[in-house]
Every structure is written in structure tokens, then in C-alpha cells.
Chains A and B, each alone.
Chain A
Amino acid sequence: MKIVVCVNHVPDTETRVKVGADGLSIDRTGVNFMLAPYDEIAVEEALRMREKFAGDVTVMSLGNEKHKETLRKALAMGADKAILLKDDGVRDSHGVAAGLAAALKPLAPDVILFGKQSIDYDDAQVGTLVAEMLSLPSVGVAVKIDIQDRKAVCVREIEGGHEIVELKLPAVFLAQKGLNDPRYPSLKGIMAAKNKPIEEQIALAAAPLVETVAMRTPPAKAAGRIVGTDKSAVSELIRLLHEEAKVI
């Protein structure tokens, strides 16, 4: 089975976001980047599929030289090889998807995995854009993927419940938390990753369809009111919620 996982290199979740000097993107000073958490789940799922069906796992990322750190992490987890689609510029989701789709097509994978969203631009759209560009079926927010005889039966999260989705390979899957518990790279895996190949390609150029006008931080909130320090404060809290906030 040929499996490709598309991964992204994102600021870690503890990052306090500041707007950069360009007014369009974040200030990267002192920000730690990491393999996006949902992408890590996607890598884990790929490794489990390889354990079950044999085959190989390729990880792919579109971005600058720094994305190699994230590719290296996925290789340390156990992926066989990596492809970096080099681009130093900034792309919209469509541009990222077009670059990935162009590189995926000649590989003809049976399974393409993504994290359900990247936790930076939070579009949650790139995986499905790629699926449509390649005319493949997809499942978003997957918490279970069962593949048998090239048919996949998946459980995906929806509001307040789950859906069972059936589709045939080749297909695209978007990993949600709960699909698996990603492994930590072993020392052996980290050492082995150093010798695994990272192939570099120039990412296909794509004209942007969405332009960023400005980035800003949300307006700071005025400090809240401490209503009290024990249960005698409860009736006052209820009065405020009812009369002032009018939410109950």
C-alpha cells in the first residue's frame, strides 16, 4: 500500500501570538515550531496502515527549509521517506493544496492522510481541496478508519455525534484526535531518521485566490469582576447573568 501523509510545520500551542512588522502575519521571533498535532495523528495512522498492509509511508510538506525539522520528526516516528516541496513565500490554502496535489498525482498513492486542520491558519480545508483537485473521495474529522479490500469504512465526528462514511481507495483521510495515540520517536528512530532521504522539489507555483488585508489581535478584554469568594456569591452571579448579561 502506498501511503502519503501531508504535514505542516506550525507554531506550538503555547505560543502567544504577536502580529509581525508586515501587519499580515505573525512575529516569528522566539516562536517554537512543531509537527502539527493533528498531522502527528495522521503520521501514526499511516504507520499503523503500513504495519497492517505492508507498503511504504512518504511524508510531504510544502514550505521553506525549516519544514525539514517537521519532516525529520515524522521520519523519526517511522516514515520511510520525505518530500519537501520548497517554497519560501506565503500561500493561501488553495495555493498550498495546488502545490501538494501536483506533487501527489504522479505518486498515485492508495491513501493520502492529512491532519484535520493545521492549527495555524485553521482553515481545515487543505485536505479536502487536495481531494477535489485529484478527484478523490475524502473523509474529514475521522476518528476511525477501517480498510478492507480497498474499501474504507470510517467514523467521522459531526455536531453532537458521529457519521459512518464509506468510500473506495484511493482516498483522502483527515485525522482527528481520538483516531490513535501517536507514538514518541524512539532513540533508534531518531538516529535512523538522520539517514533517511528528504527529496526536494520546487513547489508548483499557484496564483493566490485569497488575499490577506490585515492581521490583528482580538481587542483586549477589560478585567472581569470578582463577584465573591464563596457560595454566598451565587445569587449575585445569577442576577448579573440575568439582568446585565441577559444570557439566562
Chain B
Amino acid sequence: MKFLVFVEQRDTVIKKSSCETVRAARNLADVLGAECIAVLIGSGVEAGAPGLGQYGASRVLVLDDPALAKHSSTAYARAIASVAAAEAADIVFLPASQMGKDLAPRVAVKLHAGLAADCIALRADNGTIIATRPVYAGKALLDVRVTSPVKVFTLRPNVFPATVAQGTATVQKADVALSPDDFGAVVTNVDVAVGRPDVTEADIVVSGGRGMKAPEHFALIEALAEVLRAGVGASRAVVDAGWRPHDEQVGQTGKTVSPALYIACGISGAVQHLAGMSSSKYIVAINKDKDAPIFQAADYGIVGDVFEILPELTAQLKQTLGT
């Protein structure tokens, strides 16, 4: 058996979610006796290839082409499917990042493969693979089996550990010929804010809700986030009120997050919000209403005034962490 893992890079830097995906694929490959191959696509990306060995890739196929410097879902998908076909890969893994979600369906159709998207667990079961994926924004879990000969899985970022181990990867050139017709959709510009991590990628997320009372009070959330180098999230209520941008919304109609630590400030915990964050490893709730549903989901709670607690928490952490 052969597993092929698509490795995402941005500006030649390999994304953590891809390292997680390589490691998860390798762990499964060890159980099933499969080879774990990575495919790295972009321009000037070859230097990053050998490092994938420490996440478990035994071989890295590199497609280095100036035309592929920026993402093109159509061209990247063509390249991945070509490599998968040439290698006769049984399974293709991709991170369920925005790029991975853009590519996986195209790769699956080209390979006549079934696709299990946004998986949070994989296990071998009598030679087949059972994947677990959250549905209804995590209110339920589905165990699925892909029944087609070739299979595609995307793995949710921040769930599988990117464990490092001794290992070296052989680096080879991927032999893929792309034509201008393959570039049906092309990215012409990328604008990524530096500094604060996205809520879906952050190890820690600090989130605010209606209990913050006014948009300007989110400065307290941002200050805590800065000390913790955390992402900033928001409840639907404050996004709908226009206090925060929609890309910060956590919940069923926003982003689903699974950081190591989620700090909910002035968030009551509506069902649709809980759905988006309950897979966080640890949850802290700060809310003055002791009956707020958020305390049911929280590991640690402070029943108190966010305007009193937050500045104190920020100040003490600043001292402890020296940030």
C-alpha cells in the first residue's frame, strides 16, 4: 500500500497542519504496512522537503515551478492527482485547511475516489480504515468508511499531533506536465495579517461575547490574546452586531476550533456556539451569570465580572510568562 500526503506551504513555509497530516498518515501506514510519501508543490520549496522526514515521510516528491508559486486549485489538484496516479497511491491525505478543502474534492473526482472530509480520528479496522468526522458542527460524530478502491481523507488542523521523530526522507522530482488550461482559477494576491494567529490554527483562543458590552471593550480580549500569543474569537451575537469581523466568529455558522485552550469571556454559551468550540482540549469560562450554559462545557470557570477578571488575568500572565 502507498499513502500520498499533500503538503501545503505558504511563501515556502510548510504549514503545521501539513506536518500533522504527514505524521497521522505515517502512524496509520505503520499499522497497515504502507509507504508514506509526501508531495510538495510550489516555487522554491525544495529546501523544506528533507525536513518532512522527521514527521514520517519516507519520500518527498517535489514539484517546483514558478507558475505554482501561488495557489491554483485547478492546477494543484491536477498535479496531486497525476502524482497519485503515477505512484498508484491507495490513499491521498490532505490537511482540511482552506487550501486542502479547495483541492480534496477535485483530487477525489479525478481519482474516482470517495472523500471523508475534516476527519478528527483515523483507525485501522480489519485492514480497512474507519474515520471519525464531526457533523452538525460537532454536535454529533460520524464514523465512516470509504468504500472506493482509492480513498481521499482530509484531516482537521490542530487535532492530530505533529510529533517529531528521527527519520530522513529521500527527495525526488515529481514528473508532472501542466498545461495553461490547468490554471482555471489562480490566486493573484495573498494578504495575511502578521502577528495574530487564525482561530483555526491557534493553540490558544480568547473569545468574547455580548457580556463584553461594547465593541471597544474587546481591547481587553486583545490584550489577553497578545500576552498568550492567542487567536481572537467572537460569538455570533457580537459579529451580527457588527462589533467584530465575521472571520472571528466561532460556532456553527462560523469557525469550528480545537485549540489546546479556549477562554470564553462574557459568552453565555448558546448551542450553536458550544458546537464550534467544545472540541477544545481545555475550556475556561468567565461570566457573571452562574447559570450560563458555558459553565457546563468549561473545565474551569470564574463566576465574575469580565471587566474585573480580564485585566487581572492579563497582568498576572504577563508577569508569569514574561511576554
* Chain A residues proximal to chain B, CB less than 8 Å: 11, 13-17, 19, 26, 37-38, 92-94, 97, 119-126, 128-129, 131-133, 136-141, 153, 156-168, 171, 176-178, 208-218, 221, 223-231, 233-235, 237-238, 240-242, 245, 247-248
Please tell me which stretch of B31-39, B134-142, B162-170, B210-218 contacts chain A, meaning at least 4 of its Cβ atoms lie within 8 angstroms of it: B134-142
- List 12 additional A-B contacts (Cβ < 8 Å) besides A122-B135, A226-B290, A233-B309: A122-B118, A124-B117, A129-B105, A140-B102, A156-B98, A157-B247, A165-B188, A208-B147, A209-B147, A211-B147, A235-B316, A247-B260
B301→A159 contact, CB < 8 A: no
* Interchain nearest-CB distance for B110 vs A (Å): 7
A167 near B144 with CB under 8 A, answer no
Q: Give chain B nearest CB distance to A124 CB in angstroms.
A: 5
Contacts of B247 in A (CB 8 A): 157, 178
A138: chain B residues at CB < 8 Å are 73, 102, 185
Q: What residues of chain B lie closer than 8 Å to A133, measured between beta carbons?
A: 109
Specify the chain A residue showing the minimal Cβ separation from B71. Answer: A163
Are A132 and B297 in contact (CB-based, < 8 A)?
no
Binary flags per residue of B277-321, CB closer than 8 Å to A gives 1, else 0: 011011111000010000111111111110011001100110011
CB <8 Å contact, A226 and B271: no
Label chain B's interface by main secondary structure.
mixed
Cβ contact within 8 Å between A17 and B139: yes
A14 to chain B, nearest CB (A): 6
Q: Please judge, given known A-B contacts A121-B135, A159-B98, A211-B144, whether A38 and B253 are in contact too, CB under 8 Å.
A: yes
How far is A67 from B149 in the complex, measured between Cα atoms in Å?
A: 33
B300/A241 in contact, CB under 8 A: yes
The 6 closest A-B pairs by CB, nearest first: A209-B114, A161-B192, A137-B184, A137-B185, A128-B105, A17-B139
- B304–A231 touching, CB < 8 Å: yes
Residues of B within 8 A of A120 (CB): 135-136
Which chain A residue shows the least CB distance to B299? A224
Q: What B residues does A218 contact at CB under 8 A? A: 134, 138-141, 278-279
- B20-28, B40-48, B57-65, B198-206 - interface stretch: B198-206
- A224: chain B residues at CB < 8 Å are 283, 285, 295-301
Cβ of A220 to closest chain B Cβ, rounded Å: 9
In the complex, which residues of chain A have a beta carbon less than 8 angstroms from the beta carbon of B191? 161-164
Interface footprint category on B:
35 or more
If A158-B192, A224-B297, A248-B204 touch, whether A167 touches B136 (CB-CB below 8 Å) is no
Residue B223 at the A interface, CB < 8 A? no
A-B contact pairs, 8 of them (CB 8 A): A93-B115, A137-B74, A157-B98, A166-B186, A210-B116, A211-B146, A238-B320, A241-B284
CA distance A165 to B147 in the complex (A): 34
In the complex, which of the residues A17, A137, A168, A242 contacts B73, with contact meaning CB atoms closer than 8 Å?
A137
- Given A16-B271, A137-B185, A226-B302, A210 contacting B115 (CB threshold 8 A): yes
**Of the candidates A13, A160, A167, which one forms a contact with B184 in the assembled complex, judged by CB atoms under 8 Å apart?**
A167
Q: How far is the CA of A230 from the CA of B138 in the complex (A)?
A: 32
**With A17-B140, A160-B201: A123-B282 Cβ-Cβ less than 8 Å:** no
Asked whether B113 is an interface residue with its Cβ less than 8 Å from the other chain, the reply is: yes
CA distance A94 to B113 in the complex (A): 9
CB distance from A3 to the nearest CB of B (A): 18
> Contact: A231 with B312, CB < 8 Å?
yes
For A132, list chain B residues within 8 Å (CB). Answer: 77, 105-106, 109-110
Across-interface contacts of B124 in A (CB, < 8 A): none
CB nearest neighbor in B for A223: B296
How far, in angstroms, from A161 to B285 measured CA to CA in the complex?
28
Distance in angstroms from B197 CB to nearest chain A CB is 6
With A and B bound together, what is the CA distance between A184 and B145 in angstroms? 40
Q: Are the C-beta atoms of B190 and A13 separated by less than 8 Å?
A: no
Q: What's the nearest-Cβ distance from chain A to residue B296, in Å?
A: 7
Closest to A140 in B: B102
Q: Tell whether, in the assembled complex, residue A122 and residue B134 are in contact, meaning their CB atoms are under 8 Å apart.
A: yes
Determine the distance from Cα of A126 to Cα of B254 in the docked complex, in whole angstroms. Answer: 18
A210 touches B134 (CB 8 A): no
Contact of A217 among B139, B317, B320 (CB under 8 A): B139
Chain B residues contacting A215 (CB-CB under 8 Å) are: 135, 140-143
**Residue B108 interfacial (CB < 8 Å):** yes
B189 contacts the other chain (CB 8 A)? yes
| Chain A nearest Cβ from B283, distance in angstroms | 7
Q: Which residues from B are CB-within-8-Å of A128?
A: 73, 101-102, 104-106
Verify if B196 is at the interface (C-beta below 8 Å from A): yes
B219: interface (CB < 8 Å)? no
Pick the residue among B115, B137, B313 that contacts A125 (CB under 8 A).
Answer: B115
Q: Which residues of B contact A26 (CB under 8 A)?
A: 136, 140
B97, B110, B187 — which one has the most chain A CB atoms within 10 A of its CB?
Answer: B187
Contact pick for B316, options A121, A156, A238, CB 8 Å: A238
For the complex, what is the distance from the CA of A164 to the CA of B197, rounded to whole Å?
20
- What residues of B have a CB within 8 angstroms of the CB of A125 in the complex? 101, 104-105, 115, 117
* Distance to closest chain A CB from B236 (angstroms): 9
Q: How far is the CB of A98 from chain B (nearest CB, A)?
A: 9
Contact A166 B185 (CB under 8 A): yes
B18 at the interface (CB under 8 A from A): no
